[in-house]
Structures are given as structure tokens and as C-alpha cells.
Chains A and B, each alone.
Chain A
């Protein structure tokens, strides 16, 4: 699986792409593959406050419900409304089907996230269990 090198990742399988001030967040192709057919996404509203490591929404496939964890703290500035009616876009291309955009509260949060190489290593180990 190819994970974009300019994204950061969490062990809960979210990805984050940042310019240092704002960040775009979604779930990884590994996550969508484990979940299977995604049929429902619940996301926060614009203006909602996220705190790093806490849940900010959920994603459901036919077979499972999974919480979404904030990779970083911040305020939601934009929500991908398209996913409400077409959640299968995440299955088709998880790394471009973004969920939310936030204004980062502490850009330093990004330092604790995984690089693409580290994340790839992490899922290889997790998948092997």
C-alpha cells in the first residue's frame, strides 16, 4: 500500500496533511480496506473544537463501526459534505477523500505523528497479528 510521503499518520489510521497552520484529515487506505464497504460517516460541524487523541466522529462499514480520532487539536473550518451521500468515495480513494479541515491550535502536535515510512511499518506489524 502506498501512503503519501507528505502526509502524517496516527496509529488509529487517520492521515493528516498540513501547511503548518491548517490541516486536512481523513482515514488511510489501510483503514478503509479493513473496514470494507463504508456506508456512513458522521463528522463534526464547522466551528467544532477538536482535541488531539479524542474522537471527533465515526465511520461505519456494513460490518463495523469505528471511531475517528483527532490527530491534532484545532477548530473545524470545513467539512467534506460529499461524504454524507457518497461515503464509498473513501473506499475508492481514501487518501484524497478528505473528511475535515482544521485550523491547528498547536502546530507542535504534528511532531508526535507518524511519518509515512513509520506508519507503513506499523500497519505491516499490525496486519501480521
Chain B
């Protein structure tokens, strides 16, 4: 167990066979994650949409009831309070799913910046246990436990249904693995949480489901280039640098951070996030320095690991834009030695399209 922002969480489950086995289960079958550490903020009221629009960078007005979108809460400087998933649950009701490490900060931020709207803001983080069922066989597994028609739920949409005998459970086709999958929100009391977790695992046996820890969660999201707060995004990194342009809707007339981003776009970014693949032997790790071929530091690694599905050593790194062209050769400083790497297309992994 490791302490993850105050939560006791397993890096891997020895019974699953370790990080690589867990990772492969999600890519080829199904894996189960206890992601109760994620936080949830509910906004409801006649001005809930206006409030969500004000505090988030994506355009929530495009959401139909039951639809979700990737978005972020920004500081006025255009840097990140956190990245979030915004779910539209009702006509005037939204649910923001936020990160563990930033739960209290996020809730205060949302509450303080929505006071001018006729909208109730509730921290539901302790109400739910969130269980993620991820992988191509996730739909088959969860279908055994619910009456909801999961196949009709598109990616980044939600539905409600009875799960393990619990009525009206929120089921979202979302995840943090770059794979198809679902996240269910069940009441957080220990008995209910443990019962549902055990039932998911028991039903999952026939699909080869294994419990997965933080280690696989990290390697899976890295292969899919999904940002992690404190690594690819933070309070000192802005939206353009992080390359999250397509989730930032500048055509929205107003949101916190918009003005700074407008100004930043006029100038040029000083660094940009790139994907790297090691050319020579070595693994780039979080925080390692990036050098140019002359050996001068030009950037740093935000996340790096052996990629279990791709079977390569990959990394994400911030470098000046002139070093971001595909194929550019760079060095990663590993134990005082420059080890050759090259810029490659991202995401490193894309889930196969369904036929």
C-alpha cells in the first residue's frame, strides 16, 4: 500500500500478477479499479449551466442530458486548478468528477467562483465509491450485474440502472485507461462498497478480470497520453503548453482563464508537451532532464515508464517548440548520462476502432 494523497492504495495486486499483467488485462480483457479517491461535485439550479460555463474551459452548453465531456478548471492565468469530467445529469444538474489530490482545493474553488449564480454546489466526494471496469470485455462483465442497456451507451455518456441490486446507480462510459470501459458510482458505506467490489470481481472471473492498482492506472493513462495533475498539467502549466486546445472552447465569450489564454496565444509558447520513445537502452522517469544533442538542458520529463502493451520505453516531456517536430533526436539524462530518445506521435496507444 502507498499513501496517495491521504488514501491507502495498492500500487499493484500480487494476486493479479503485477502491473504488467494488470495492464494487459485492461488492454485485452478487463480490469477493475477502486477509484473511490476521485472526488465529485454536484452543481444544480436554474443557473447551473452558467456556473459550469464560467469555471470550466470546455463548452458545457453542448452537452445533452446524459452526456459527459473532458474539461478543466483554470486559474485566471490560464493554468490548471485541475482537469475534470463534466457530466450533465439533468436539465439543470451537472456532476464534476475531480482528482484525489485536489479535492478540497477544487471544491473551494468551485464554490467560491460560483457564488454569483443561482446554483447549489455540493461536495459529494464522500457519498460515492467509484469503481472503474475497464477494457474491451468491460461491457460484457457489467452487463451481468445490471439491467441497464450498456451497449446503447456511447463513449462519454452516462445512464442509470440497477447494479448488484442497488437501484438508480450512475453508470458512465468513461475511464482513465485509453480503453473502453465504465465507471459506476455506488453508495460509499463500507458494506455496500465491499459487496459491489466483490460481486464485480466474482462475475468478472469468467472474463479473466483482475483487480488493478495505481501502477497499471499510471502506465495505461501514459500510453494513452491522458494528463496527470502535477505532471503534464499544474498551476504553472497553461492549456496551450499542455496541448489541450481541443477541449478549450475560445468561442465561449467568457470563462476563468480565457483572457490570459487569448493573450498567450498571441505570443508563442515557450514549451510544449511531446511524446518520446527511447532509442537507446534506458527508461526516462518523472523529473529527468531533457538535453539537446549538445548536452544542454532544454526540458524535463513529466511522466516516463516502460509501456507494457507497446513494449517500449516511453515518456512525456516539456521541450521548447523547436524541438517538438516528429523524429527530433533528444537526450534523456539518466544517471548522469545522455541516453538517446526521439519525438514520436501521440497518443502512443489508441484503442482499436470497433467494426
Contact partners of A63 in chain B: CB under 8 A: 11-12, 19, 215
Given A36-B215, A39-B306, A58-B335 in contact, is the A65-B285 Cβ separation under 8 Å?
yes
Question: B305 contacts which chain A residues (CB < 8 A)?
Answer: 62
Task: Give Cα distance in the complex from A58 to B285, angstroms.
Answer: 14
- Residue A119 lies at the interface, judged by CB distance under 8 Å to chain B: no
Q: Which of B294-310 contact A (CB under 8 A)?
A: 305-306, 308
Given contacts A62-B19, A63-B19, A84-B281, contact A40 B306 (CB under 8 A): yes
Overall SS of chain A's interface: strand
The answer to whether A36 touches B18, judged by C-beta atoms less than 8 angstroms apart, is yes
Residue pair A37, B19 in contact (C-beta under 8 Å): yes
Residues of B at the A interface (CB closer than 8 Å) are 11-12, 18-20, 215, 219, 281-283, 285, 305-306, 308, 313, 335
Instruction: Give chain B nearest CB distance to A89 CB in angstroms.
Output: 14
Chain A residues within 8 Å of B215, by CB: 36, 62-63
Q: Is A12 an interface residue (CB 8 A)?
A: no
Pair B19/A36 contact, Cβ less than 8 Å: yes
B328 to chain A, nearest CB (A): 24
Q: How large is the interface on A (under 10, 10 to 19, 20 to 34, 35 or more residues)?
A: 10 to 19
Task: Report yes or no: A37 in contact with B20, Cβ–Cβ below 8 A.
Answer: yes
Measured in the bound complex, the distance between the Cα atoms of B12 and A37 in whole Å is 10
CB neighbours of A120 from chain B (8 A): none
B285 lies within 8 A of A62 (CB): no
Say whether A42 faces chain B, with CB atoms less than 8 Å apart.
yes
Given the interface pairs A63-B19, A63-B215, the reply to whether A39 lies near B11 with Cβ below 8 Å is no
Encode A12-42 as 1/0 by CB contact (under 8 A) with B. Answer: 0000000000000000000000001101101
Q: A36-B12, A62-B305 are in contact. List 15 more A-B contacts (CB 8 A).
A: A36-B18, A36-B19, A37-B308, A39-B283, A39-B306, A40-B281, A40-B282, A40-B313, A42-B281, A42-B335, A58-B335, A62-B20, A62-B215, A62-B306, A63-B11
A127–B107 Cα distance when bound, in Å, is 38
Q: Which residues of B contact A36 (CB under 8 A)?
A: 11-12, 18-19, 215
Bound-state Cα–Cα, A39 to B283, Å: 9
Instruction: Report the separation of the CA atoms of residues A65 and B304 in the bound assembly, to the nearest whole angstrom.
Output: 12
Residue of A nearest to B11 (CB): A63
What is the chain B residue whose CB lies nearest that of A39? B306
A contact residues around B20 at 8 Å (CB): 37, 62
Complex Cα distance, B283 from A42, in Å, reads 11
The answer to whether B281 and A62 touch across the interface, beta carbons within 8 angstroms, is: no
Bound complex: CA A104 to CA B4 (Å) = 44
The smallest beta-carbon distance between B4 and chain A, in angstroms, is 13
Q: How far apart are the CA atoms of A61 and B313 in the complex, in Å?
A: 12
CB <8 Å contact, A37 and B285: no
- Chain B residues near A40 (CB-CB < 8 A): 281-283, 306, 313
- Chain B residues with CB under 8 Å of A62's CB are 18-20, 215, 219, 305-306, 308
Nearest-neighbor residue (CB-CB) of A62 within chain B: B19
CB distance from B280 to the nearest CB of A (A): 11
Q: How far is the CB of A92 from chain B (nearest CB, A)?
A: 12
> With A and B bound together, what is the CA distance between A19 and B18 in angstroms?
36
Fill in one digit per residue for A71-83: 1 if any B CB lies within 8 Å of its CB, else 0: 0000000000000
| Bound complex: CA A60 to CA B282 (Å) | 9
Q: Which residue of A lies closest to B214 (CB)?
A: A63
Task: Kindly state the separation between the CA atoms of A61 and B219 in the bound complex, as whole angstroms.
Answer: 12
A-B contact pairs, 11 of them (CB 8 A): A36-B11, A36-B12, A36-B19, A37-B18, A37-B20, A37-B308, A40-B282, A58-B335, A62-B19, A63-B12, A63-B19
| Cα distance, A42 to B20, chains bound together (Å) | 20
| A97 CA to B151 CA, complexed, in Å | 48
Measured CB to CB, the closest approach of chain A to B235, in angstroms, equals: 26
Please give, as numbers and ranges, the residues of chain B lying within 8 Å of A61 by CB-CB distance: 19
Which residues from chain A contact B313 at a C-beta distance below 8 Å?
A: 40
Could you tell me the distance between the alpha carbons of A58 and B11 in the complex, rounded to whole angstroms?
21
Cα–Cα distance between A58 and B306 once the two chains are bound (Å): 15
Q: Distance in Å from the Cβ of B192 to the closest Cβ of chain A?
A: 31
| Bound Cα distance from A37 to B24, whole angstroms | 13
CB distance from A14 to the nearest CB of B (A): 18
Interface 0/1 of A39-54, CB less than 8 Å to B: 1101000000000000
Query: What residues of chain A lie closer than 8 Å to B219, measured between beta carbons?
Result: 62
Give bound CA distance, A39 to B282, whole Å: 10
CB of A65, distance to nearest CB on chain B (Å) = 6
Nearest B residue to A35, CB-CB: B18
Chain A residues whose CB sits within 8 angstroms of the CB of B285 once the complex forms: 65
Complex A-B, nearest 5 residue pairs according to Cβ-Cβ distance, in ascending order: A39-B306, A62-B19, A37-B20, A37-B18, A63-B215
